[in-house]
Each structure stands twice: as structure tokens, then as C-alpha cells.
């Protein structure tokens, strides 16, 4: 079964440092997403990406965040200057055109900002 | 801004009985609803979905019911099995233009199925 792969599984970083979270979506999917879940809270939408550009972003996704699909297979989320409140599980997901089958989520990267 | 609400943080049922997980929504633009299951240290896994033009969708032990007038949906699992123990998330989408399928999630319900 095809899967979405995320690396690393756990990242610890100092406040103010830049982090890059990496994802390899399912190869024939066209839509890519980042979501996050702060401990004990709901899964929140960050950004969607289609046709090599951001199609929608939430208010959480401010200027500190950026996404890239640098080589046609990887999909990255960069946080330029991390804050303590960025600590969360970050989930990458991908989907084809039909949402009825749901997205496929990766296992997540646990980001801890200290 | 809780557009998707799961008011029960937890539910405990006996193996073999029915589990009913509930979800309410407020946004009338939502036209697709999905249920996801999540185990600790894993990403959410898609279970079942329903379009707003239907009121029921069934897949094996899982059935989702949609009441549009009440803006309410429920997931029925029957018979419940211990392996069903997980957090269940309700999610909704307002499909638009083929370019984005953003999902809005509820807070989740922890289901525990006791042997």
C-alpha cells in the first residue's frame, strides 16, 4: 500500500533556530498538505499545495513558515525561527483529485522547541 | 472557532457491542464528511466518508449517518473489537474548484473497546 513518508520522526531544536520537516508524498498524488496537532488539541490545517503553488493557508501559516517541492518528489515545511508554541506533531498528507477517498497522512514529525 | 465539534472526549464500550461516535458541524458550506482513526505515534488513517447528498454510507463494520438538517453525523461501529480502540476524528470539507480539499477536524473522541 502506498504511503506518505515523513522524516525525521522527532526533531528537537532550540528556540529561534530554523527547522525543515521533510515529506515524500504518494507519487501520483497532486495535492499536498501540512497539518499540525498541538498536544491534546485538534488537528489543524496549515497549508495546501497544488500545481507548484500554495492554494490555501491558515492564519497559523505566517511569514515564518514556507513550503517547497524542490525536486518533484519531496515536499518540505520550513519554519524559519522556531518559537516554543511551534512544538507539535506535524503531519504531511497527500491526495488525488477525489477527496471521497480521504487523504493519506504520514506518521508525523514531533517537533519539540526548547 | 469550532466548526466541527465532537462533544464526547471519550467513549468506552464492550467488545461485540455497537460504538456510536457523534459529530456536529456549523458551516453550511461543508459538503463532504470524513472519519479518521488515529493510533498513538501514527498519522490519522482514513476510515469512511459521506457526501452531503447522501444520508448513509456503509463499509463493512463501519456506517456513517448524516443528518443535514441537524448538521449532525455519526459513525457506527458494529460489532466493536478491541483493535478499534483509538482516537476517532470527524472531518469536513467544503470542496471548491478542484484545487483544494482542506479538511477541518474535530477534537477527536477516544474510543476504548473492552474485551
What pLDDT score was predicted for residue A40? 83
Interface test with chain B among A35, A99, A106, by most B beta carbons within 10 Å: A99
8 A C-beta contact, residue A98 and residue B51: no
Over its C-alpha atoms, chain A yields an Rg (Å, rounded) of: 13
In chain A, residues with a C-beta closer than 8 Å to the C-beta of B34 are: 99, 102
The strand pairing partners of A33, in sequence order, are: A48, A93
What pLDDT score was predicted for residue B96? 61
Whether residue B102 and residue A43 make contact (CB cut-off 8 A), yes or no, is no
Give the pLDDT band (50/70/90) at residue A2: confident
Using CA atoms, how far apart are residues A37 and A58, in angstroms rounded to an integer?
14
In chain B, residues with a C-beta closer than 8 Å to the C-beta of A93 are: 43
3-class secondary structure, B14: strand
What pLDDT score was predicted for residue B1? 63
The alpha carbon of residue A19 is apart from the nearest alpha carbon of chain B, in Å, by 20
Q: β-pairing, B10-14 with A109-113?
A: unpaired
Task: For chain A, give the mean pLDDT.
Answer: 92
Q: Distances in Å between the alpha carbon of B59 and those of A73, A98, B47?
A: 32, 18, 9
What pLDDT score was predicted for residue B100? 59
Q: How many CB pairs under 8 A join A and B?
A: 69
Residues of A at the B interface, defined by Cβ within 8 angstroms:
4, 6, 31, 33, 35, 41-45, 48, 50-51, 55-56, 91, 93, 95, 97, 99-108
Using CA atoms, how far apart are residues B10 and A114, in angstroms rounded to an integer?
31
Query: pLDDT for B55-100, tens place per residue?
Result: 999 999 999 999 999 999 999 999 999 999 999 999 998 876 555 5
Which among A18, A24, A22, A26 has a CA at the least distance from the CA of A8?
Answer: A22
B residues 11-50 closer than 8 Å to A (CB):
32, 34, 36, 41-47, 49
Give the pLDDT band (50/70/90) at residue B2: confident
Whether residue A100 and residue B49 make contact (CB cut-off 8 A), yes or no, is yes
| The three three-digit cell numbers of residue B95, written as one number | 470542496
Question: Which distant-in-sequence residues (6+ apart) come within 8 Å of B1 by Cβ?
Answer: none
Query: Residue written as cell 503531519?
Result: A91
Q: What is the DSSP string of A76-113?
A: EEEESS--GGG-EEEEEEEE-S-GGG--EE---EEEEE
Which among A42, A104, A114, A48 has a CA at the least distance from the CA of A83?
Answer: A114
Q: Which residue in A has a C-alpha nearest to residue B41's C-alpha?
A: A107
Whether residue B100 and residue A43 make contact (CB cut-off 8 A), yes or no, is no
Whether residue B43 and residue A106 make contact (CB cut-off 8 A), yes or no, is yes
Average pLDDT estimate for A86-103:
86
Query: pLDDT for B6-47, tens place per residue?
Result: 999 999 999 999 999 999 999 998 989 999 999 988 899 999
Backbone angles phi, psi at A19, to 5 degrees: -130, 150
Nearest by CB to residue A99, choosing from B47, B101, B106, is: B101
Query: pLDDT for A64-91, tens place per residue?
Result: 999 999 887 899 999 999 999 999 999 9
8 A C-beta contact, residue A31 and residue A48: yes
What pLDDT score was predicted for residue A96? 83
Amino acid at each position: 500500500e502506498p504511503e506518505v513518508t515523513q522524516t525525521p520522526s522527532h526533531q528537537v531544536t532550540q528556540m529561534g533556530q530554523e527547522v525543515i520537516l521533510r515529506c515524500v508524498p504518494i507519487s501520483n498524488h497532486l495535492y499536498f498538505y501540512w497539518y499540525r496537532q498541538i498536544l491534546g488539541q485538534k488537528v489543524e490545517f496549515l497549508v495546501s499545495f497544488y500545481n507548484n503553488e500554495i492554494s490555501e493557508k491558515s492564519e497559523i501559516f505566517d511569514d515564518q513558515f514556507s513550503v517547497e517541492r524542490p525536486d518533484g518528489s519531496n515536499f518540505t515545511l520550513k519554519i524559519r525561527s522556531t518559537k516554543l508554541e511551534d512544538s507539535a506533531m506535524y503531519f504531511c498528507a497527500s491526495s488525488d483529485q477525489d477527496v471521497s477517498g480521504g487523504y493519506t497522512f504520514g506518521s508525523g514529525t514531533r517537533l519539540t522547541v526548547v | 472557532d469550532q466548526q466541527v465539534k465532537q462533544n464526547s472526549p471519550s467513549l468506552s464500550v464492550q467488545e461485540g457491542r455497537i460504538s456510536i461516535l457523534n459529530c456536529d458541524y456549523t458551516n453550511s458550506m461543508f459538503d463532504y464528511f470524513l472519519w479518521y482513526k488515529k493510533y498513538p505515534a501514527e498519522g490519522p488513517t482514513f476510515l469512511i466518508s459521506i457526501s452531503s447528498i447522501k444520508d448513509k454510507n456503509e463499509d463493512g463494520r463501519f456506517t456513517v449517518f448524516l443528518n443535514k438538517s441537524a448538521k449532525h453525523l455519526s459513525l457506527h461501529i458494529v460489532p466493536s473489537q478491541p483493535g478499534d480502540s483509538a482516537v476517532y476524528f470527524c472531518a469536513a470539507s467544503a470542496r471548491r474548484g478542484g484545487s483544494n480539499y482542506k479538511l477541518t477536524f474535530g477534537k477527536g473522541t477516544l474510543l476504548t473497546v473492552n474485551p
